[in-house]
């Protein structure tokens, strides 16, 4: 298939963001002619792109179906919905809609591990990469996380293993992935502003299993079970006792162990990342690593030393007995539920939650129920704050804040020694911040400003 692409100079790249730049760079390197389209009148990256690629035509403004339909292939960035009328019409006229991962699949010649899910995919992707590196493998890590997949092909051509985080938007424009190992870690409400409902969202995730050699699924989440009809091998992970070749938890002499079947591998208290959700993440990562041929000693070494990611239940400070956690990457309800459960100890209500932002169509009912059960108090920010507040029980102390520094100040006033202030918004960030990273950075700066940069910082 690489030869077909290489001889086809009628390609339109739709979208001039990070993904579009990556596609353009790759096509130029492969000697493929193409044009670029962006629906914005003046996309932020246009000047830089034209300077780097002065001979490539760039068309900006409303997308035209008549113009696009003259190109046999449209490489559409993940940020552009496939129900965009011009794309729908172009597809109806015979244009093939594809994404950067489709191109990646046509050119890659090393094993691929594909990781998707509503939550934890960045943690598991990075963790698996760490295990591979400790096993002395030349591993390239990216996709939806960090480096775009096509840049990995250009910059790490001698990679022995590619580990890709994939979003539902990338998968929905990838016809056949054919990964060596594929997983859906979990499925919960997310991106319902882009999908007609949970079924459509789940179906986009299920595409990761198409023609995979190994499918790793979460037996505690039936929506992750492979639905495709094929003869691939399967391995499950979960918090229950595992079957013979699966990963799970077993008790032995008063301690809890991760096990593969009957074989105890590591006690959970030896995992550096704390929280019940990270035990599940550890099992998922081990299952993927096992299927990818990574040696057990490297897995164990990683479990004992991996520090996790910024903005993902990251401990920022411990000051006057109050701990501050940055979970800004908790951009949907499922992520925030996992964070609350992971940080809850015994039956004590010790979490002051900062939440809110762009809800992406979520209803927040499950989150509100958990808050009623386990959270001490809540500070709400952003456009979804009132919607969340309306669902909370009357006895839950709830405050509103119009800035992050105000939110942290109010949370701090509610907290007592032993409590945990958790930023886990359950929402996207774009009503108040540039990105979830920006939101997390502002939270961290606000915490440090309030407690004093030289006092109690972890």
**What pLDDT score was predicted for residue 10?**
83
**What pLDDT score was predicted for residue 9?**
56
Of 36, 67, 98, the domain-final residue:
98
**What pLDDT score was predicted for residue 229?**
63
Average pLDDT along the chain, 458 residues, taken 10 residues at a time = 45 94 96 94 91 94 94 94 95 96 96 95 96 98 94 96 96 94 91 83 94 96 86 93 96 96 96 87 98 98 92 90 94 91 84 96 93 96 95 94 97 95 96 95 95 55
**What pLDDT score was predicted for residue 456?**
45
**What pLDDT score was predicted for residue 230?**
64
Is 270 found in the same domain as 340? no
Query: pLDDT tens-digit profile of 8-56?
Result: 458 999 999 999 999 999 999 999 999 999 999 999 889 999 999 999 9
In a domain, 334, yes or no: yes
Query: Structural domain tally of the chain?
Result: 3
Is 250 found in the same domain as 165? yes
pTM score of the predicted model: 0.82
Of 74, 98, 122, the domain-final residue:
98
Is 76 found in the same domain as 224? no
Give me the long-range contacts of 92-97 (CB less than 8 A, separation at least 24). Answer: 93/65, 93/69, 94/69, 95/68, 95/69, 95/71, 96/72, 97/173
Q: Phi/psi at 214 (nearest 5 deg)?
A: -125, 135
Q: Which sequence positions are flagged as catalytic?
A: 121, 144, 191
Spatial distance between the Cα atoms of 133 and 137, rounded to a whole number of angstroms: 5
Q: What's the domain range around 418?
A: 314-451
In a domain, 125, yes or no: yes
**Cβ pair 335, 426 in contact under 8 A:** yes
**What pLDDT score was predicted for residue 119?**
87
């Amino acid at each position: 298939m690489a030869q077909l692409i290489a001889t086809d100079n009628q390609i339109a790249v739709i979208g001039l963001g990070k993904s579009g730049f990556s596609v353009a760079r790759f096509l130029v390197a492969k000697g493929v002619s193409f044009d670029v389209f962006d629906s914005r009148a003046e996309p932020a990256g246009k000047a830089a792109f034209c300077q780097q690629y002065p001979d490539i035509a760039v068309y900006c403004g409303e997308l035209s179906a008549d113009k696009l339909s003259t190109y046999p292939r449209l490489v559409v960035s993940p940020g552009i919905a496939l129900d965009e009328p011009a794309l729908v019409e172009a597809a109806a006229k015979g244009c093939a809609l594809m994404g950067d991962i489709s191109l990646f699949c046509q050119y890659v010649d090393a094993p691929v591990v594909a990781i998707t899910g509503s939550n934890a995919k960045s943690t598991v992707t990075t963790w698996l990469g760490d295990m591979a590196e400790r096993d002395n493998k030349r591993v390239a890590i990216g996709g939806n996380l960090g480096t775009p997949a096509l840049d990995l092909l250009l910059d790490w051509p001698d990679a022995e293993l590619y580990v890709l985080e994939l979003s539902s938007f990338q998968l929905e424009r990838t016809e056949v992935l054919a990964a060596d190992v594929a997983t859906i870690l979990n499925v919960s409400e997310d991106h319902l502003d882009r999908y007609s409902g949970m079924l459509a969202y789940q179906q986009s995730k299920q595409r990761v299993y198409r023609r995979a050699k190994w499918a790793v699924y979460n037996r505690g989440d039936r929506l992750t079970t492979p639905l495709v009809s094929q003869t691939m091998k399967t391995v499950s992970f979960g918090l229950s006792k595992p079957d013979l070749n699966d990963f799970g938890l077993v008790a032995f002499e008063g301690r809890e162990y991760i096990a593969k079947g009957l074989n105890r591998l590591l006690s959970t208290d030896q995992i550096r990342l704390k929280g019940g959700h990270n035990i599940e993440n550890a099992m998922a990562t081990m299952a993927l690593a096992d299927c990818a041929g990574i040696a057990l000693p490297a897995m164990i070494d990683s479990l004992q030393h991996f520090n996790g990611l910024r903005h993902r239940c990251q401990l920022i400070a411990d000051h006057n007995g109050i701990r501050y956690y940055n979970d800004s990457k908790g951009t949907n309800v499922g992520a925030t539920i996992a964070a609350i459960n992971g940080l809850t100890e015994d039956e004590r209500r010790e979490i002051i939650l900062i939440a809110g932002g762009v809800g992406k169509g979520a209803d927040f009912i499950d989150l509100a129920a958990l808050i009623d059960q386990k959270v001490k108090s809540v500070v709400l920010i952003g456009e979804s704050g009132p919607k969340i507040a309306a669902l909370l029980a009357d006895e839950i102390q709830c405050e509103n804040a119009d800035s992050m520094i105000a939110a942290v100040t109010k949370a701090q006033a509610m907290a007592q020694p032993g409590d945990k202030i958790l930023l886990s918004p359950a929402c996207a960030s774009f009503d108040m911040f540039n990105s979830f990273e920006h939101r997390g950075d502002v939270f961290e700066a606000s915490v440090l400003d309030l407690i004093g940069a030289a006092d109690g910082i972890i």
